[in-house]
Chain A
Amino acid sequence: MSPAPIAVTAWGIHVPDVSLDAAIGVATGDPACPPERAQELLGLKGLLNKDAATRLALCAIHRALGLPPRAPRASGPPDPRVAIVASSNLGNVSTVQAVVRTLRTGSLKDVSALDAPNASSNVIATTAAIWFRFGGPNLMVCSGATSGLDAVSLGCTLLRARRADRVIVVGSEPGDAAAHQLFARRAATQRGDRLCAGAAAVVLERADDAAATDAPVLGAIHHSMTVSRDDGDSAALTIGPALGESNDEDRNAGRTIDLTRIIGDAYGALGVLQIAVAAALMTQSPRPSSIAVRCGDELDGWRTTIVRDGAALSVSVPAPAALAREAI
């Protein structure tokens, strides 16, 4: 039984300090503000005491939802049919370590009560739910190198199980000293590898629902599989490391975009960023018929997710101009 296809209907990329546009040939929007200037996109209210990974995640979701800068925040009751799945490995380690250091140099009184939410690993997912009024299932995935694609996969599961009608998947990693230090301690980290701080978000819907509501189907996630690095369909384009030896021309006949080599390793955010880039590339002309998105490492295993052209679902794909407005 082939699982029902899931449509990617919008994406947002928010990676400060680097430019993806030239490397992938897609406009990802205005330059991304760093987390300490997140108010430029999100507005000032409510950002006090939000940590960097949470701010970056909010910015990426803000973009994916197509909201203008400093748009008024949603009010009213939370929507129980919208779920969020967030992915991050290092988002809260800075707060956790800071609390311990404060205890060493001072006393319990010096530990800020305002740090309490940020010490919890799921602060990104729950803060986004409160911020954007997502009342459906709320998941925080902290699952290493495959975490971003794990989150996308669980988002598809929530839709197929009809636990939500829309799922926002967001990946985010901060660029603080604690995150860099722990990233450097990864066994898979090689000399020269660096952590890329930033966030990306995608909006997922069941493909039949998206067709019924005229939502733009940017790409269709047909299946998601966990495999060794060298398994996987042959795709016109691979986002992720090349199969086998990178000079194996038979196995890598299509184009390969390894984002990690371009902007650094987005770690827990990577899989979501890759899906967002795949969705963006699907708006181009000519667009690839399928994209294999792959991430992982030898300890955490590998995951490959296939994104196909949304037109294959027999639903209309809007003109790129309309998509750009929707997405950015």
Chain B
Amino acid sequence: MPALIAASAIRTCLGDGARTFAALLRGDCGVGPIRDVDGARLNVTAGYHIIDDDRHNVDQHRDDRRPDERAEALYRPSRWLADCIRDVLADAHLDAARQRLIVLVGTGLRELRIAERCADDTGQASIDAATERLHFDAAVREVCPGVAQVITISNACSAGGHALALAQDLIDLGEADAVIAAATDGMTESMLAMIGRFANGPTPRVRPFDRDRLGALLGEGAAALAIVPDRTPDVRPLARLLSSGMSCDATHETVPNADGIMRAIADAFTRAGRTPADVDLVVAHGTGTALNDPTEAALLQREFETRTTPPLITGIKGALGHTSGAAALMNVDVAIRCLHGSVVPPVVGLRERLDEGAALSFVMDAPVEATLRLAQINAFGFGGVNTITLVEAA
């Protein structure tokens, strides 16, 4: 059964949802110098950071802060998550005291930066970090007292897509009056090290689906969507959530597998009762890596091969970086704004499309205006965990 998206909020390096979408339409790129770590040593010198205000700036070690205050400033993904959840609770008029409310939090990296700082010998080992803060119960319960369940789902770069799929299932099964599908991620030094370890040289910016792409960079941010049952009274939905398909390649830890992803695509369309012929817009995963982009482009060509006019395709990681577990839900927020505004922002960073996507309609250089009804959102994660989400204009 379809569900309704009653509210959506995001925080990205380019701001909240409205600011981010406006920046995408302008073709802005949120990349900047990497912060908080020694980028030269990591072979990662750029990133898509959220620039916090002074009070929360981890680069300024103000001595007058108590250890717990200093630690609190470090829980940045928790804070962005709480901000997004506060927004959707208000916008969707949800009340955990009156409603059975479940919050599912997708994340790739959790608050593992805290565990890294615990291991660090640079003088910060004494930070007042609690292990309970590796996951997001405390952050969510603070802004949503009375919430029935908070579950942290650590499904790598498609974690938000998985949270959304399960949110719809829980609504469908009548297990909650409303579910907030949320996601958040910052950066960890260990993940940056792995990116740097496999990069030929420092990547200056993300170029999704570009012939000359150099790899992924991390982005920071969070997202939350309020999901309620279809035909809930007094709800003015942003969009209808038709379905999400889930699959696991079960073939390789780091190499995406087309057959595994196709199973998620088939699952999504079967559940929605639609076909790829109905799709007007794809917000692609598009990480700018050597492996993802040709695999995804070839898949999209396969999915839409029978169509005379393929759907418009955009992607946001050139502008926002790879926001790991939050990426899928940021894609959904952008897709909803495309449906509302009848306009699709370009793939920031894409100059010359890769050969595998020669037959695809990437939006390049400038926004494209179009009447849009159905959007497909792709998310693929480490270990071959895939979600495909279909949303439709309300």
Contacts and interface: CB of A to CB of B under 8 A. Distances in A.
Interface of A: 1, 3, 78, 80, 84, 89-90, 92-93, 95-101, 103-104, 107-108, 111, 113, 115-117, 119-123, 125-127, 129-130, 133-144, 147, 150, 153-154, 157-158, 160-161, 163, 178, 181-183, 185-188, 226, 297, 299-301, 303
A78 B250 contact: yes
17 contacts: A93-B115, A96-B115, A96-B119, A117-B382, A121-B108, A121-B110, A122-B381, A126-B382, A136-B246, A138-B247, A139-B155, A143-B152, A147-B152, A186-B130, A187-B130, A187-B131, A301-B150
Contacts of B166: 139, 154, 157
Given A129-B250, A183-B131, A161 B119 contact: no
Contacts of A92: 112
B149 A185 contact: no
Contacts of B115: 93, 96-97, 178, 182
A80 B247 contact: yes
Nearest to B129: A185
Nearest to A163: B246
Given A140-B155, A141-B153, A119 B119 contact: no
B118 interface: yes
Contacts of B248: 78, 84, 126, 129, 134-138
A127 B382 CA distance: 11
Contact of B153 (A140, A178, A182): A140
A239 to B, nearest CB: 20
The DSSP consensus for interface residues of chain B is mixed
A141 B116 contact: no
Contacts of A183: 131
B131 A186 contact: yes
Interface in B232-263: 246-254, 260, 263
Contacts of A130: 250-253, 383-384
Given A130-B253, A139-B155, A142-B154, A226 B149 contact: yes
B272 interface: no
B74 to A, nearest CB: 14
Given A138-B248, A142-B134, A299-B137, A103 B41 contact: yes
Given A123-B383, A183-B131, A99 B193 contact: yes
B152 A144 contact: yes
A38 to B, nearest CB: 18
Interface of B: 41-43, 107-110, 112, 115-116, 118-122, 129-132, 134-135, 137-138, 141, 148-156, 162, 165-166, 169-170, 172-175, 188-191, 193-194, 196-198, 246-254, 260, 263, 267, 381-385
A97 B137 contact: no
B253 A122 contact: no
A122 B154 contact: yes
Given A100-B120, A161-B172, A119 B190 contact: yes
The 8 lowest CB-CB distance pairs between A and B, nearest first, are A126-B383, A97-B119, A78-B250, A138-B248, A121-B154, A161-B169, A99-B190, A137-B246
A96 B112 CA distance: 8
A139 B162 contact: yes
B250 A141 contact: no
A104 B135 CA distance: 26
A30 to B, nearest CB: 28
Nearest to A181: B118
Nearest to B170: A157
Contact of A188 (B107, B116, B132, B382): B132
Contacts of B251: 78, 130
A95 B120 CA distance: 13
A322 B65 CA distance: 63
Contacts of B381: 122
Contacts of B194: 99, 111, 115-116, 119
A147 B153 CA distance: 10
A117 B269 CA distance: 31
A84 to B, nearest CB: 8
A186 B132 contact: yes
